[in-house]
Amino acid sequence: MRVLGIETSCDETGIALYDTKQGLLAHALYSQIKLHATYGGVVPELASRDHIQRILPLIDQVLAQAKLKPQAIDGIAYTAGPGLIGALMVGAMCARTLAFALQVPVLGVHHMEGHLLAPQLEVNPPAFPFVALLVSGGHTQLIEVRGIGKYQLLGESLDDAAGEAFDKTAKMLGLGYPGGPKIAACAAEGNADRFRFPRPMLDRPGLDFSFSGLKTHTLTLTRQLAAERALQPQDIADIAAGFQQAVVDTLVAKCKRALKATGLKSLVIAGGVSANQSLRTRLQASLAGMGAQVKYARPEFCTDNGAMIAYAGACRLQAGQSDDLETPLRPRWPLTELPPL
């Protein structure tokens, strides 16, 4: 079964073609980073308009890469949520119109299930069951995964997601957008031990997260230093390094707790923040000490992309699931509401 995947939940237009027998045939991505960088974050209306301009040329590009005609498509999957409603509408309308024209089934995919299953596209994919850390600009969640659709929420952020905290911290330090890569690059030149940063909610039991206080602590520290003298590049690098290490320490500690609580020995990290090299290195070292392993997608499939939507959609379409042309989009959509396969 050949499935066209369409991702337009936020600020990337992702298109891919996945074959359930041959694997990923082709994929393409257009990022709106330059478009939104001027504003220090995503402007929903601009994102929606840009998706309209990019989506059809990218579909043509992917079909050309795969050397296939539209009639070779057996099903279409698109991101139905969570995400920005205007951006979601662009992908949904395109997918549904194309499915109607080709007379093939169409399915709205959960954006975070796409991220969770992205590591399945690798040569050595993780086997079920495992604990998943979904960590992105909008989500920080620990999920026990027993199979596709068999999800139990173990813990989540009570306020800012980790990726959101990275973006806001980068903005206050004048590093620009997107925050994750900017903080990581700056932190590479910094001393993480110069300033003391809290490790939120590690002093209490449970698997929930909170990054709002860490962000506020960083803002207070920055203002205190700026009141004494102009911030120097080394000051900013040291703050970035300390902030990143605090986030990484918190995520690693909670992942270890989740593995102990479930008795599982396999962790999957997915989402944009999973591309952070410091987080990957620390998790590999920490989990090796407890006889566990961590797996993740290649960097290009950590951020939003069409391949993860095509794969997740192919799994469900092949199992007989599909939507009608009036199925509502869901800007907010708990992952645990998905039906199991």
Is residue 122, in this structure, part of any structural domain at all? no
Is residue 70, in this structure, part of any structural domain at all? yes
Same domain, 206 and 248: yes
Q: What is the pTM of this model?
A: 0.95
Residue 156, SS3 per DSSP: strand
Res 325: pLDDT? 87
Same domain, 311 and 281: no
- Model confidence at 273, pLDDT cuts 50, 70, 90, reads very high
All residues at 6 or more sequence positions from 164 whose CB lies less than 8 Å from its CB, including other chains? 137, 138, 211
Contact 27, 58 (CB under 8 A): no
Mean per-residue pLDDT of the chain: 96
Q: Can you give the CATH number for the domain in which 192 is found?
A: 3.30.420.40
Same domain, 308 and 279: no
40 pLDDT exceeds 90? no
Does the annotation place 36 within a ligand binding site?
no
> Any idea what DSSP says for residue 305?
-
Tens digits of residue pLDDT in 132-177: 999 998 899 999 999 999 999 999 999 999 999 999 999 999 999 8
Same domain, 144 and 291: yes
Same domain, 219 and 315: no
77 pLDDT exceeds 90? yes
Q: Which whole number is the average pLDDT over 73-101?
A: 98
Q: In what order do the strands lie in the sheet with 75-81?
A: 23-31, 12-19, 2-7, 75-81, 106-110
Does the annotation place 23 within a ligand binding site?
no
Q: Which whole number is the average pLDDT over 263-267?
A: 98
Contact 187, 241 (CB under 8 A): yes
Same domain, 315 and 285: no
Same domain, 73 and 159: no
Question: Can you name the residues that pair with 4 across neighbouring β-strands?
Answer: 17, 76
Domain count within the chain: 2
Is residue 84, in this structure, part of any structural domain at all? yes
Does the annotation place 238 within a ligand binding site?
no
DSSP string covering 85-99, please?
HHHHHHHHHHHHHHH
275 pLDDT exceeds 90? yes
DSSP string covering 258-296, please?
HHHHHT--EEEEESGGGG-HHHHHHHHHHHHTTT-EEEE
Does the annotation place 5 within a ligand binding site?
no
Res 330: pLDDT? 97
Same domain, 77 and 205: no
Does the annotation place 138 within a ligand binding site?
yes
Tens digits of residue pLDDT in 212-261: 999 999 999 999 999 999 999 999 999 999 999 999 999 999 999 999 99
- Model confidence at 71, pLDDT cuts 50, 70, 90, reads very high
Same domain, 27 and 145: no
Contact 258, 294 (CB under 8 A): no
Same domain, 42 and 26: yes
What percentage of the chain has pLDDT greater than the value 90? 96
Res 61: pLDDT? 98
Res 2: pLDDT? 98
Is residue 228, in this structure, part of any structural domain at all? yes
Domain holding 45, by residue range, is: 2-117+301-337
Same domain, 147 and 98: no
Tens digits of residue pLDDT in 88-121: 999 999 999 999 999 999 999 999 999 999 999 9
Give the span between the Cα atoms of 258 and 116, in whole angstroms.
16
All residues at 6 or more sequence positions from 53 whose CB lies less than 8 Å from its CB, including other chains? none
Tens digits of residue pLDDT in 307-339: 999 999 999 999 999 999 889 999 999 999 999
Same domain, 16 and 72: yes
Does the annotation place 276 within a ligand binding site?
yes
Does the annotation place 304 within a ligand binding site?
yes
